[in-house]
């Protein structure tokens, strides 16, 4: 194709973001020639800092899984829990404003207890110090600030910032939600966000692409949530690691943008880097309904720019090129899908609704349902809520009320106000539903239950949320949490039973009749555009103001300025001790618990007291127990603190998928603060592995998994080849010389690592931030 097709003209009708995208995409095409690209690759590679450097010297086929991509995201979105540390880190770089647009969303710190209004005022009172800090930092650096009650980050981003073709970073693992509107959005830790905020390119190992071809159309009782619940069962929590999941095929056209967002949101549950759907007519409809007609027109313009008739690869289309290859391919016929219920305790334990009753009985899970919770960032769309409304109305007409507590969390003020305007919320509250504030609440352990279920009491809840690790919702490890679509959760709440099948079973009405739920029916979006909502929840959006003083009290227990970590010594590490050998799942919740600890997110010394406090000790099976070299028993964070004070560096030994779950950088910061130098395990979750390197902790995996059995708590460890590898920009092998604590026997354990040149620089400098601040 001629160069005319490869660069946008001066005076181009494209908006600047698309003009940049188009020009970069043209470079990608020039460098890669005729190679067919998937949609995810097109968007991702069109955000490369230097296309030639990244792709020029590599055979096209070898890009995925191998090339290190240095990317320039279009924007960064942060939630309040992670924004605190991100802003503290950004502040230490002494810049007057962020290099790219950004937003802060106050959603994680509001406790769900009595209902929206009471909970919100209580939350603002308890957390005002943090909100004031975030608001002042937002004003100073020109960041959009969404106050508490305005909504949950992912819903707000979908409604306001997601534009097809953009690339965004979000300091939350469910940021890929925006993939439902054809953006590449990746969940990262605060340190990654800071890189993008200071204008440094953000590095990512080029993901492989998992194609999911959708055919058919969902049946009545089946929701987009069931697609991802089913996929999670197929792929497990590790199945998407290192992949972008790209949906395509005729079935895609049958899904709403918000349904697609639910599917992308929960791509985090299979460990995927992100997920993406193409730009469809539903995307256009959603942009228009959310008052972004111009964005919709722009996206359509880009699809057809600069005109018809040239070779397809000269154009940026929001779809994969014909003949593009996927590294793995799964085909799902939506018409054959049935509702699924996933859990307890892991999102990949997936059971079709038709088999759920027998599974409950077989596994002796509780048959009584204590609570049904719908909404959250995952499932509070207009479509979700009106589908639920349709079945609640019918149940109400039959005289039925939910037999279990029933909670509704709207994802944003916009959706809440629209549902209020259209009468949906009234239907819920009249049925006895409790409306919670537009915030995360019970999804992140911020739930003060009012039903008398105490910690330690075995019970079952159903939620339409995305994650169900033990203790996630109410801090009770004995609450079995099952994930399902909002309509299934609601029907179960009416039944008050985990064995009820709303598709086949009936409920007894007060007048003795049999009631069967009709199939849910909803509207994709409102008939008139979404309501904007109350004035108090509008974002604060202003130019940077250097005169603003960022609010941190020196005596604060919640916020503390950061001290830089020490650089790596100019030698290999020696004299390390294994603090604890962990068995089983070790998620970011295990390493840095949420719930009540969220309040210390901006205070590293204080939050570190929760480090690994639900980890299981391999030797004894005890939770949160570690033994000092003299045999004395401690909690894990107590022993870590003791060793920190004694100048004893340490490492953790663990099993598979260490750091699974979220982008929570505290799970890397806290061990680093307490003296961890290495984590060695069978495998890592991607985001966490990167977070460790950014904080100067070395992540290693066993070259032979069986070597996990050879190393124990208390053993002394020295590294062989680590310093050399770091000096060589990540090239070279690393082994651990282990001296057994009891016998003094020495063994050498080979390991593997994925340290890139830049990451080697972070580790040598002590942290990525040290390096950024130096630059």
Q: Which residues bind ligand F3S (CB under 6 A)?
A: 107-108, 152-154, 172, 174, 376-377, 440, 443-444, 465-467
CB of 444 to ligand F3S, least distance (A): 4
Cα 376 from Cα 372, distance rounded (Å):
13
Question: Coil, helix or strand for 101?
Answer: coil
CB of 575 to ligand F3S, least distance (A): 40
Active-site residue among 381, 662, 756, 767?
662
CB of 89 to ligand F3S, least distance (A): 21
Using a 10 angstrom Cβ sphere, with 0-12 exposed, 13-18 middle and 19 or more buried, the burial of residue 648 is middle
Phi, psi of 731 (to 5 degrees): -100, 130
C-alpha distances in Å from residue 600, one per residue of 106, 170, 324, 674, 707: 15, 20, 47, 16, 36
CB of 175 to ligand F3S, least distance (A): 9
Q: Which is nearer to ligand F3S, 376 or 683 (CB)?
A: 376
Cα 461 from Cα 447, distance rounded (Å):
13
Q: Which is nearer to ligand F3S, 261 or 734 (CB)?
A: 261
Give catalytic status of residue 107 as yes or no: yes
Cα 682 from Cα 706, distance rounded (Å):
9
Can you read off the two tokens belonging to residue 478? Answer: 């004995």
Q: Which is nearer to ligand F3S, 406 or 469 (CB)?
A: 469
In sequence order, what are the residues at sequence separation of 6 or more whose Cβ sits closer than 8 angstroms to the Cβ of residue 318? 39, 164, 165, 182, 278, 279, 299, 302, 303
CB of 594 to ligand F3S, least distance (A): 8
Active-site residue among 230, 603, 656, 664?
664
| Residue-by-residue DSSP string for 502-516 | TTT--EE-TTS-EE-
CB of 411 to ligand F3S, least distance (A): 8
Cα-Cα end-to-end distance for the chain: 41
Active-site residue among 80, 144, 172, 405?
172
CB of 467 to ligand F3S, least distance (A): 6
Q: Which is nearer to ligand F3S, 174 or 618 (CB)?
A: 174
Give catalytic status of residue 451 as yes or no: no
Cα 228 from Cα 265, distance rounded (Å):
9
CB of 670 to ligand F3S, least distance (A): 19
Active-site residue among 467, 558, 677, 686?
467
Q: Which is nearer to ligand F3S, 265 or 614 (CB)?
A: 265
Q: Which is nearer to ligand F3S, 107 or 655 (CB)?
A: 107
Q: Which is nearer to ligand F3S, 266 or 678 (CB)?
A: 266
691 closest CA partner among 206, 276, 203, 340: 203
Strand duo 716-720 + 734-739: pairing: antiparallel
Phi, psi of 513 (to 5 degrees): -85, 165
Helix (H) or strand (E) holding 170: strand 167-170
Strand duo 676-681 + 650-653: pairing: parallel
Read off the DSSP letter of residue 336: G
Question: Coil, helix or strand for 105?
Answer: strand
CB of 173 to ligand F3S, least distance (A): 8
Active-site residue among 107, 474, 628, 715?
107
520 closest CA partner among 339, 664, 356: 339
Give catalytic status of residue 387 as yes or no: no
Active-site residue among 47, 64, 108, 753?
108
Q: Which is nearer to ligand F3S, 278 or 347 (CB)?
A: 347
Q: Could you give the count of Cα atoms lying within 13 Å of 558 in the half-sphere of its Cβ?
A: 20
Phi, psi of 324 (to 5 degrees): -65, 145
Q: Which is nearer to ligand F3S, 72 or 381 (CB)?
A: 381
Q: Which is nearer to ligand F3S, 296 or 466 (CB)?
A: 466
Give catalytic status of residue 154 as yes or no: no
Q: Which is nearer to ligand F3S, 165 or 267 (CB)?
A: 267
Q: 589-623 burial by CB neighbour count: b if 16+ within 10 A, else e?
A: bbbbbbbebbbbbbbbebbbbbbbbbbbbbeeeee
CB of 442 to ligand F3S, least distance (A): 9
Q: Which is nearer to ligand F3S, 48 or 193 (CB)?
A: 193
CB of 28 to ligand F3S, least distance (A): 32
Strand duo 576-583 + 650-653: pairing: parallel
Residue with tokens 């130096």: 774
Residue with tokens 């033994």: 627
Cis peptide before 306 (omega within 30 of 0): yes
Torsion, CA 350, CA 354, CA 360, CA 366, rounded to 10? 100
Cα 28 from Cα 555, distance rounded (Å):
52
Torsion, CA 18, CA 20, CA 25, CA 30, rounded to 10? 140
Can you read off the two tokens belonging to residue 226? Answer: 């069931």
Cα 198 from Cα 502, distance rounded (Å):
52
CB of 174 to ligand F3S, least distance (A): 5
Contact 110, 149 (CB under 8 A): yes
CB of 547 to ligand F3S, least distance (A): 33
Q: Could you give the count of Cα atoms lying within 13 Å of 154 in the half-sphere of its Cβ?
A: 35
Q: What is the largest CA-CA distance in the chain?
A: 80
The beta strand positions in 278-378, using DSSP E, are 328-333, 340-342, 350-352, 369-375
761 closest CA partner among 743, 774, 748: 774
Give catalytic status of residue 30 as yes or no: no
Can you read off the two tokens belonging to residue 156? Answer: 């707000």
Cα 167 from Cα 165, distance rounded (Å):
7
Q: Which is nearer to ligand F3S, 665 or 707 (CB)?
A: 665
Give catalytic status of residue 664 as yes or no: yes
Q: Which active-site residues does the annotation give?
A: 107-108, 172, 467, 662, 664
């Amino acid at each position: 194709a001629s160069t005319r097709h490869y660069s946008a003209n001066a005076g181009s009708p494209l908006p600047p973001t698309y003009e940049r995208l188009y020009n970069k995409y043209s470079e990608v095409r020039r460098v890669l020639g005729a190679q067919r690209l998937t949609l995810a690759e097109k968007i991702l590679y069109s955000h490369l800092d230097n296309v030639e450097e990244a792709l020029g010297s590599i055979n096209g086929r070898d890009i995925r899984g191998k090339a290190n991509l240095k990317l320039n995201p279009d924007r960064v979105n942060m939630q309040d829990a992670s924004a605190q540390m991100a802003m503290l880190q950004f502040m230490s770089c002494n810049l007057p404003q962020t290099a790219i647009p950004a937003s802060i969303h106050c959603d994680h710190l509001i406790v769900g207890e009595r209902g929206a209004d009471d909970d919100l005022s209580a939350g603002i009172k308890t957390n005002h110090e943090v909100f004031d800090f975030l608001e002042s930092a937002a004003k100073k650096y020109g960041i959009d600030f969404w106050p508490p009650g305005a909504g949950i980050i992912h819903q707000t981003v979908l409604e306001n910032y997601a534009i097809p073709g953009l690339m965004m970073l979000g300091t939350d693992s469910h940021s890929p939600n925006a993939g439902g509107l054809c953006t590449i959005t990746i969940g990262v830790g605060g340190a990654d966000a800071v890189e993008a905020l200071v204008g440094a390119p953000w590095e990512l190992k080029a993901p492989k692409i998992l194609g999911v071809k959708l055919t058919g159309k969902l049946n009545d009782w089946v929701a987009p949530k069931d697609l991802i619940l089913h996929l999670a069962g197929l792929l497990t929590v590790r199945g998407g690691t290192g992949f972008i999941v790209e949906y395509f095929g005729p079935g895609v056209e049958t899904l709403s943008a918000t349904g697609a967002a639910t599917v992308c949101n929960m791509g985090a549950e299979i460990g995927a880097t992100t997920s993406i759907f193409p730009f469809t007519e539903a995307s256009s409809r959603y942009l228009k309904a959310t008052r972004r007609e111009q964005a919709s027109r722009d996206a359509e313009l880009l699809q057809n720019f600069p005109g018809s008739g040239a070779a397809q690869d000269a154009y940026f289309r929001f779809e994969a090129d014909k003949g593009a290859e996927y590294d793995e391919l799964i085909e799902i016929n939506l018409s054959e899908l049935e509702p699924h219920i996933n859990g307890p305790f892991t999102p990949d334990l997936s059971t079709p609704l038709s088999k759920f009753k027998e599974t409950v009985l077989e596994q002796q899970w509780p048959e009584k349902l204590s609570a049904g919770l719908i909404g959250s960032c995952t499932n509070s769309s207009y479509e979700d809520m009106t589908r639920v409304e349709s079945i609640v109305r019918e149940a109400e007409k039959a005289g039925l009320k939910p037999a279990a507590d029933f909670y509704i969390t709207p994802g944003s003020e916009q959706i809440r106000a629209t549902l209020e305007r259209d009468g949906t919320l009234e239907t819920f509250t009249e049925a006895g539903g409790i409306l919670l504030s537009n915030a995360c609440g019970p999804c992140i352990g911020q739930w003060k239950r009012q039903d008398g279920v105490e910690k330690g009491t075995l019970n079952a809840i159903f939620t339409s949320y995305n994650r169900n690790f033990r203790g996630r919702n109410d801090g009770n490890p004995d609450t079995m949490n099952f994930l399902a679509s909002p309509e299934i959760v609601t029907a179960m709440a009416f039944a008050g039973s985990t064995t009820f099948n709303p598709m086949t079973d009936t409920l007894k009405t007060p007048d003795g009749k049999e009631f069967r739920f009709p199939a849910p029916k909803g509207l994709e979006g409102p008939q008139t555009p979404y309501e904007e909502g109350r004035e108090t929840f509008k974002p604060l959006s202003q130019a940077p103001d250097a005169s603003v003083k960022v609010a941190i009290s020196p005596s604060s227990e919640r916020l503390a300025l950061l001290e830089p970590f020490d650089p790596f010594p100019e030698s290999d590490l020696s004299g390390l001790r294994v603090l604890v050998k962990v068995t089983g799942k070790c998620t970011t919740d295990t390493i840095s618990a949420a719930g009540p600890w969220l309040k210390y997110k901006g205070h590293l010394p204080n939050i570190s007291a929760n480090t690994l406090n639900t980890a299981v000790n391999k030797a004894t099976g005890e939770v949160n127990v570690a033994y000092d070299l003299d045999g004395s028993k401690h909690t894990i964070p107590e022993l870590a603190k003791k060793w920190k004070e004694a100048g004893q560096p340490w490492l953790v030994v663990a099993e598979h998928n260490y750091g699974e779950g979220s982008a929570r950088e505290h799970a890397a910061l806290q061990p680093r603060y307490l003296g961890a130098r290495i984590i060695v395990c069978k495998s890592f979750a991607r985001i966490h592995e990167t977070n460790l390197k950014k904080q100067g902790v070395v992540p290693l995996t066993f070259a032979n998994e069986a070597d996990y059995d050879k190393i124990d708590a208390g053993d002394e460890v020295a590294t062989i080849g680590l310093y050399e590898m770091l000096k060589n920009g990540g090239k070279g092998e690393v082994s651990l010389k282990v001296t057994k604590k009891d016998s003094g026997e020495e063994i050498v354990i080979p390991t593997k690592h994925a340290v890139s040149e830049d990451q080697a620089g972070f580790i040598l400098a002590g942290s990525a931030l040290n390096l950024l601040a130096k630059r």
